[in-house]
A and B are shown apart, each in its own frame.
Chain A
Amino acid sequence: MFRDSSIIRWRNYKDRYMLVGFECSACGKKYFEKKGMCPCGATEFNEIEFTGKGKIVSYTKIYSGPEVFQEQTPYCVAIIDLEEGARIEAQVVDCKYEDLKIGLEVEAVFRKFYKSGEKGVIHYGTKFVPKF
């Protein structure tokens, strides 16, 4: 149902397309996704554009995916610490799975994610590739 929606992601375009995240106005902690309240108690955040450079914290290769991702299987997904300090989850592409390891340096690229509904509206976002 929600995966058929062509507008569900529009409010995330800025973070998905330009890797814009949020920095706590009080303690400076950085987040990729919006968070209501920082553990320090502050609720005000400033936007910050990440460079897209980071390191793999953990990862896997998915062989059986949800409906809209099934045609992409198998694909690699990782948790990545960006150099500015925020943590992000993303697919890692253009590489051999065997070459991935914890601590590997990666960088952001702009890619197609999936098509939704009968109209086939394409959702885009950020994926990562190993930095060579």
Chain B
Amino acid sequence: MNVGVLGTGITKFGERWNQGLRELLLDAQLKALKDSKLSPEDIDALYTGNMGGGPLSGQLHIGAMATENLNINKPSVRVEGACASGSLALRAGIHTIEAGEAEIVMVSGVEKMTDVSTEQATTMLMGAGDEEIDGFIGLTFPGLYAILAKAYMHKYPKLTRDILAEISVKNHFHGARNDYAQFRKEITKDTVINSTMVADPLTLFDCSPITDGAATIILASEKKAKELGAKVSIIGSGLGTDSLSLARRKSLTRIDASWIAARQAYKQAGIKAEDVNFAEVHDCFTIAEVMAVEALGFAKEGEGYKLYQNKDTYFDGKIPINTSGGLKSCGHPVGATGVKQAIEATLQLSGKAEGRQVKNAEIGVTHNVGGSGGTACVHVFKKVK
């Protein structure tokens, strides 16, 4: 697989009171077109990841919105896979190019979450679980990951409350160095540990926030990418799935879909975990980052904690994780997150991640999870030499 990245565009993530779904999406689309030096007519097809447009804004049919924004009539589809919607849109874009259906594809992700109450957003997010099993009894998203955390820390007690806090501290350290991040502020472990309990053992600062935002990336075929001088290419894509409900999982201490997706993507890219220079992973909750680094092969199962003992995951460490600030500090506009991760990988590989630049990076990986692991999508990015 070899699909080039021509350009990227991203909105500031955060509470964007003045902008609705349409304005957020348009902002990212126009920035990406400008960055790619393309006009709307150059786009052959569009995919847009979005999860909550229906329940939160009463707006579905986002595919047509994406083309209406650009005054074009090209094929355009909205993709939904809970918090992995953005990565699924990216994968659909890649496959459309690989199938020879398009030369240039615009992939976006958008989410407008702050028009409703926290309780309403919580209800919408639980749509990613099993409504009849998880939803009916009052489970929440933090609740699902809290159950995973309890099970994990029972089996692997070396993962302590302190290590989980360190993950959040590290992600805020990176977010403070990222212009488009929601929370550009460093924090301490005490802040995490002493913040309000959301679902035991996860506190507010273990949890990613509710965020408005959009992100767009423009892809091209290998031939077109070469012609236009693309600096980054995507060389592997993997997708794994599992049951919606935790009650039906084989394991409560790992997310099998992530393991499946990572192996597929690595195999396709012809790489091993040791070849990866940095990764953007799905840290919707601190515990999720631990499970992610294990699934991606950066640590053995049950030993993810080791990466957080010596600042190995900072941008200048051995294996930088979430240089964008991750979902925790950069924000988590769910449908846009997968595309944001792809943008961060692109910025890193083209030397544009000012203030948090990973040195000599050649291969980066993105890892995006839907729900508590019903879907997981991994992509491998490579610097073009």
Measured CB to CB, the residues of A under 8 A from B are: 1-3, 9, 12, 16, 32-33, 35, 57-70, 72, 75, 77-79, 87-91, 97, 102, 113-114, 123, 125
Contacts and interface: CB of A to CB of B under 8 A. Distances in A.
A20 to B, nearest CB: 14
Given A33-B133, A57-B151, A87 B248 contact: yes
B188 interface: no
Interface in B122-149: 122-123, 126, 130-140, 142-143, 146-149
Interface string B143-159: 10011111100100000
Instruction: Give the bracket for the number of chain B residues in contact with chain A.
Output: 35 or more
20 contacts: A9-B136, A58-B151, A59-B147, A59-B150, A60-B149, A60-B200, A60-B201, A62-B198, A64-B199, A66-B138, A67-B117, A67-B119, A67-B120, A69-B138, A89-B133, A89-B245, A91-B138, A102-B151, A102-B154, A123-B136
Contacts of A66: 119, 122-123, 126, 135, 138, 140
Contacts, number: 111
Given A65-B138, A67-B119, 12 more contacts: A9-B136, A60-B147, A61-B199, A63-B200, A66-B140, A67-B117, A67-B122, A68-B138, A77-B139, A89-B139, A97-B200, A125-B136
B196 interface: yes
Nearest to A60: B146
B285 to A, nearest CB: 11
A90 B196 CA distance: 24
B198 A67 contact: no
B136 A77 contact: no
Contact of A79 (B119, B196, B247): B247
B94 to A, nearest CB: 30
Contacts of A125: 136-137
Contacts of B200: 60-61, 63, 97
A27 to B, nearest CB: 16
A66 B137 CA distance: 10
* Residue among A64, A78, A87 facing the most chain B CB atoms (10 A cut-off): A64
A64 B198 CA distance: 6
A82 B201 CA distance: 25
Interface of B: 55, 117-120, 122-123, 126, 130-140, 142-143, 146-151, 154, 196-201, 245-248, 252
A90 B137 contact: yes
A65 B252 contact: no
B138 A77 contact: yes
A60 B141 CA distance: 12
Given A33-B132, A65-B122, A102 B150 contact: yes
Given A59-B147, A89-B134, A89-B137, A64 B248 contact: no
A36 B134 CA distance: 18
A9 B55 CA distance: 20
B124 to A, nearest CB: 9
A68 B118 CA distance: 12
What 5 A-B pairs have minimum CB-CB distances, sorted nearest first?
A60-B146, A69-B138, A58-B151, A67-B119, A66-B123
Nearest to A33: B133
A57 B252 contact: yes
A132 B271 CA distance: 54
Contacts of B55: 1
Contacts of A32: 133, 247
B137 A79 contact: no
B199 A58 contact: no
Contacts of A3: 123
Contact of A88 (B122, B151, B247): B247
Given A79-B247, A89-B246, A62 B139 contact: yes
Nearest to B118: A64
B132 A77 contact: no
A125 B133 CA distance: 12
Contacts of B131: 2
B142 A62 contact: yes
A61 B137 CA distance: 13
Contacts of B150: 58-60, 102
A89 B151 contact: no
Nearest to A90: B137
A65 B133 contact: no
A25 B16 CA distance: 54
A64 B118 CA distance: 9
B158 to A, nearest CB: 17
